[in-house]
């Protein structure tokens, strides 16, 4: 299948602000007070998320952890800049079992800056993500990418590409 067929089959829509294609697959009816900012949020949410070659998930920060699950297509390269545990940043490849260096799931800590792109040579990548407390567009935060490029100089080029 090509990306357009997957987008149509899964009824994915453009993801505002971030880029890529998504569909929320679950949103808890139960709510909880978010431990970071105290606002009411769904207990949990899940989405499907697809990037095509040349598209990226723009760098952003969320207050809570986000768990990624590889679903199909080409591997996805994820950049995580986390002041708490990974001061130098880290690159994670989400991909199929057997792909060199790939994992099938990863947790992005709350407060970390994250962005992603399809691995070189790939046409598209599909992942699922889950958050608890759940995602709310009001929580999506775009960091100052110039500041990030200075602070994480080893990742400056990639930061500019995901800006």
pLDDT digits (tens, 9 = 90+) for 40-78: 999 999 999 999 999 999 999 999 999 999 999 999 999
Distance CA 69, CA 96 (A): 10
The whole-number pLDDT of residue 37 equals 87
pLDDT of 112 over the 80 cut: yes
CATH number reported for the structural domain that contains residue 13 in this entry: 2.60.120.10
Number of domains present in the structure of the chain: 1
The whole-number pLDDT of residue 85 equals 55
The boundaries of the domain holding residue 30 are 3-161
The whole-number pLDDT of residue 84 equals 62
Instruction: Say which DSSP state 18 is in.
Output: T
The whole-number pLDDT of residue 35 equals 85
Q: Strand pairing partners for 42?
A: 31
Rounded to an integer, the average pLDDT of 101-129 is: 97
The whole-number pLDDT of residue 88 equals 72
**pTM to 2 decimal places:** 0.94
Q: What is the pLDDT of residues 9-32, one digit of tens each?
A: 999 999 999 999 999 999 999 999
What sign does the dihedral 10-13-14-18 (CA atoms) show?
negative
pLDDT of 86 over the 90 cut: no
Maximum CA extent, the chain:
43
Other Cβ atoms closer than 10 A to 154: 9
Counting every residue written for the chain, the total comes to 163
24: left (phi over 0), alpha (psi -120 to 50) or beta: beta
């Amino acid at each position: 299948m090509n990306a357009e067929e997957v987008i149509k089959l899964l009824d994915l829509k453009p993801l505002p602000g971030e880029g890529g294609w998504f569909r929320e697959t679950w949103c808890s009816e139960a709510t909880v007070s978010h431990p970071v900012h105290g606002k009411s949020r769904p207990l949990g949410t899940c989405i499907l998320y697809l990037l095509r070659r040349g598209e990226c998930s723009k760098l952003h920060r969320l207050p809570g952890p986000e768990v990624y699950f590889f679903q199909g297509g080409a591997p996805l390269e994820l950049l995580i800049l986390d002041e708490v545990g990974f001061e130098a940043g880290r690159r994670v490849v989400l991909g199929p079992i057997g792909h060199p260096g790939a994992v099938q799931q990863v947790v992005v800590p709350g407060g970390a800056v994250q962005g992603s792109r399809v691995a070189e040579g790939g046409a598209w990548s599909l992942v699922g993500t889950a958050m608890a407390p759940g995602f709310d567009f009001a929580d999506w935060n775009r960091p100052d990418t110039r500041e990030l490029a200075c602070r994480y100089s080893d990742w400056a080029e990639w930061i500019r590409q995901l800006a």
